[in-house]
Amino acid sequence: MIVTVTPNPAVDLTITTPMFDPGTTQVVPPARRRAGGKGLNVARVLAQTGHATRAIAPVGKEEAGWFAADLGDGLETDFLSCEGATRCTYAIVESETGRTSMITETGPARTRDEWNGLVDLVERNTSEARTLVMSGSLPPSHPEDLVSDVVGLGRAAGVRVIADLSKRALLSAARAGADVLKPNLDELRTATGVADPIEGARTLQREGARLVFVSLGEEGMLAVPADPSEAVLHARLGRVLRGNPTGAGDAAVAAISIGANDEAPAEALRRAVAWSAAAVLTPLAGTLHQSHPDLLHEVVVSQT
């Protein structure tokens, strides 16, 4: 069982238009509404590829039933019902240019009791988990110890812990000893203040992290092992795919999460790049294009 934790889920609204013209009034087809948040997107991809998964998240009490129904029967959910409504995100997809613009709400205020309830949910689920994924943004109201508490619960239970976080939360996950971190290049620079991705990953490892994957966008992904004597690996697809990139990082996390701690980094890296590319080819985050097995054979892995 892979358990995902999404501290700041969202109602994702995707608007598609031939061209987005800021400052004008445009008439568009109805927006697609979907239960979202990075951890939930990870869980969707895992369910689509046949892996047992359970999604944990705090959601507004009025939306809890809709969230579970929208995620469908392919995955389990364990939601914490909260007073404040779940935030919304807005993706504006331009069909003519392939560009996507994102507007993202920060998230509602949650009480300390609600955050304690979320940590309790994580603790109850670690007994069945082989991997624990904590993914996504954190709303402004989150307690300082939330990330270290969640990562610490996984570590104490002997569960593999993967974190896809940003800013101070990324550093907190490193210091709590997360087994795998998966920042993108901007998140890594913001958290560490280091421009070079390999040196940035080494900064996280000096804080306590182990294996670090760094997303480089169209340039692929790096895998930086904790042991400096092991080679740093770079993987990329041999061509650039156009589409909606909003769920690419979540697909990569899902790909990494199905492996074991002793899996060769090259295999996890190859799968992460292929699944990330397959996510770009779909209109909604949390899904893979059916070509993902073929894309796996197109990924080129090299030492750097």
| Span 151-180, pLDDT tens digits | 999 999 999 999 999 999 999 999 999 999
pLDDT band at 244; cut points 50, 70, 90: confident
| CB burial readout 69-82, b (16+ within 10 A) else e | ebbeeebbbebbeb
pLDDT tens figures, 269-290: 999 999 999 998 887 788 888 8
pTM of the complete model: 0.92
What letter represents residue 210's amino acid?
R
User: pLDDT of 64-117, one tens digit each?
Assistant: 889 989 988 788 999 999 998 999 999 898 888 878 888 999 989 899 999 999
- What is the CB-side half-sphere exposure of residue 202 using CA atoms within 13 A? 12
Q: What is d(CA 167, CA 187) in angstroms, rounded to the nearest whole number? A: 6
Q: Helix, strand or coil for residue 179?
A: coil
Average pLDDT estimate for 248-272: 93
- Decide which of 41 and 262 is more confident: 41
- pLDDT attached to residue 95: 86
What SS3 class is residue 234?
Answer: strand
Tokens representing 111 are 């009480």
Burial of 9 (0-12, 13-18, 19+ CB in 10 A): buried
Model pLDDT, residue 282: 86
- pLDDT at 263 (0 to 100): 86
Share of the chain above pLDDT 90, in %: 69
**At residue 242, does pLDDT exceed 80?**
no
Strand partners, 81: 59
Q: Which residue has the higher pLDDT, 247 or 161?
A: 161
Cα separation of 46 and 167, whole Å?
A: 26
- The mean of the pLDDT values for the chain is 92
